[in-house]
Structure 1
Amino acid sequence: MKLGILFVATSATLAGTLGTFGTVLFDAGFSGFQVASIRMLITCVVLLAVYPIVFRGCFALMRDNWKLLLPHSIAVVFGFSMLFFIATEYLGVTLAVALLYTAPIWVMILASFFLGEISGLVKWALVFCSVAGVAFVLNTQGQEIKLSLLGLCFGFGSAIGYAIFAVLGKIALRTISAKNLLFSALTFAIPLLLLFPSTWQGLEQLSQSRDLNVWGSFVAVSLLGTLLMNVLYMNGLTRINASTATVITTIEPLVATFLAVFIVQEILAPSQYFGVLLIIVSATLIGILDGRIKKESKN
């Protein structure tokens, strides 16, 4: 249980660095779709390179379980990653992240239907406190945010995609190992990316770039923010339930905020510090509550 929380918390920390590296790539002229697609393609190349050593036999498993694994892969590649980066183009990073972190509510709803996870009023209250904390942390006073109906749809879509990814992953982990699920999640839907002209345009732009910051940022969002992040998340998901894992991932906006403070030298408002406290307390209490429930069920 404690190890599962550690894995998910570390995964969320790595995810929190994506905004810093993504800013470099947006400034270099890459679109949100291109950043997301190249990020996934680089990750896929690395996974295929180590396939004979680490993932041998996984293609046969993907063929036999494609009805579950293909939707799971589409959820993470398109439903979560792609929609989130597109949402940032329409709404900006702050609002896109805020909408993404409505995911705990979607996860609890889906988990109750498909996983049979029962969440009491206390757990629901903690989830809403956590989401409220995210809202406080992402409150940018004095900054105008241009709202777009299409952008809002993409933002909520990324949250629902993340929830589907988490719930389908939990179901798949009943019969499939974490490493094989990781491989299928990050490779199954990749060929679909190559059907989009924007993907090839982004790859051409990257091939012509001589900026080490651009190449380094793509390596970072791929290996740290995608591969290692998902390895830790999948392993954490085998130890704690889906709704608990999603609440813990609210650490991500904390990391993003702190990086903005130390790197961009932004100053946090008192309300944002209050949000930090809300998220930390909610995540801690939800973990304690989940641990007690598991202990009582064993007894």
Structure 2
Amino acid sequence: MPQLFIILAALSWGFISVFVKKLSAFGFTEMEIVTIRVVYAFILLLPIIIFQRKRSVIRIKLTHIPYFIGTGLCSIVFFNWCYFTAMNKLSVSFAVMLLYTSPAFVAILSYFFLKEKLTKKKLFAVLITIFGCSLIALNGGGDNTWDQLGFSIGLGAGLGYALYSIFGKLATRYYDSITITFYTFLVASICLVPFYRFWEKFNQIPTNLHFYMIGLALVPTVLAYLLYTIGLNRIESSTAAILATVEPVAAIIIGITLFNEKIAYVQFAGILCILSSVLILSIKRKYIKRHQSEVSFINEKTR
């Protein structure tokens, strides 16, 4: 079931705070953590590629390189930069809300570039998702004042996040999930390594911190993106993007259980809204598919 792959990917992304908090506490900057994430992910993908022993996995056409520039540079690098910058200029909760405007971006971009239908169901689910994310962010204003530039950059995070769905969907026409993920992090690593030399701090960090660095690359990165790309190959990108919004729900639950964060009733209502949008997409899709199967069976019988 492709919806399950997308939801599992989103849950894996939700665990990112566990690793980022630990690395931030040591003194790594936001972009150094992003660089650690993509470089270690690329290293973890190498044995997978070698084990498969298939040249087709790493064989791509030069004319398709723009797809991986899109997923690696325009999405991974750009969205992370916008996301962390918005966190600094605004509050974390508000930055998260702006990030999850991505389903709206995906629905619109998919209509123009992927020729996907903008159905009433999608529009309704997008509205509920955005409303739910707004409620989650409502009590997270923080101490930062309103910053128009921060707001614009935060919207850029939503756009960058959405671009992975668009470029990833285009790439799935020619390549499988492992190839797309491999070249995504290769491009991202090439773009980040010259500027953020995180390895220069290696002689200062404790041994156990390396496990968090590997974990950051494994759980919310390699595993999450593989699951997401597999699911993306079987459903429309706009639907995948909306299903992926269970990530903030997972992040909030982790914050409550591991970091003793408190949640307001308004934010809990936002979680219910996001879960409702997931149910709308999953349950209705099952019903429609079952109904279509019944109609096809009846048509076969009447021929």
Q: Same fold (TM over 0.5)?
A: yes
1:210 matched to 2:206? The reply is yes
* Contact 1:8–1:248 under 8 Å retained in 2: yes
Is the alpha carbon distance of 1:22 and 1:166 closer, same or farther for their aligned partners in structure 2, counting shifts above 3 Å? same
**Superposed counterparts of 1:155-234, under 5 Å:** 155-196=154-195, 199-200=196-197, 202-210=198-206, 212=208, 214-234=209-229
**Structure 2 residue identity aligned to 1:209:** I
Q: Deviations over 1:1-42 (max 9, x none)?
A: xx2111110110011111232122222211111110111111
Query: Structure 1, residues 163-212: CA drift from partner, whole Å, max 9, x if none?
Result: 1110111111112112211111121332121221xx11x22124421162
Q: Distance in 1 between matches of 2:203 and 2:86?
A: 26
Of residues 43, 47, 50 in structure 2, which corresponds to 1:49?
47
- Preserved contact between residue 129 and residue 279 of structure 1 (Cα < 8 Å): yes
Distance in structure 2 (CA, Å) of the matches to 1:115 and 1:90: 34
Q: Compute the displacement of 1:296 (Å).
A: 6.7
Is the 8 Å Cα contact of residues 137 and 254 (structure 1) preserved in structure 2?
no
Separation of aligned partners in 2, 1:68 and 1:234: 14
Q: Which runs of 5+ in 1 are unaligned?
A: none
Is this contact kept in 1: 2:94–2:140, CA < 8 A? no
SS of 2:261's partner is coil
Which range moved further: 101-110 or 84-93? 84-93
Instruction: Answer with 1 or 2: which has the greater Rg.
Output: 2
- 5 Å matches for 1:1-299? 3-54=1-52, 56-57=54-55, 58-61=57-60, 63=62, 65-140=64-139, 143-196=142-195, 199-200=196-197, 202-210=198-206, 212=208, 214-292=209-287, 299=296
Describe the shift of the 1:150–1:141 C-alpha distance in structure 2 as closer, same or farther (beyond 3 A). closer
**Cα distance in structure 1, aligned partners of 2:278 and 2:112:** 23
Moved more, 59-68 or 100-109: 59-68
Compute the TM-score of the two structures, normalised by the length of structure 2. Answer: 0.88
Q: Distance in 2 between matches of 1:192 and 1:233?
A: 23
Question: How far, CA to CA, are the matches of 1:54 and 1:96 in structure 2?
Answer: 39
Asked whether the 8 Å contact 2:122–2:239 carries over to 1, the reply is no
C-alpha deviation, 1:55, in angstroms: 6.7
Bigger shift: residues 264-273 or 79-88: 79-88
Cα distance in 1, alignment partners of residues 65 and 290 from structure 2: 35
Matched residue count: 293
1:141 to 1:231, Cα distance in 2 relative to 1, 3 A: closer
Q: Where in structure 2 are there 5+ consecutive unaligned residues?
A: 297-303
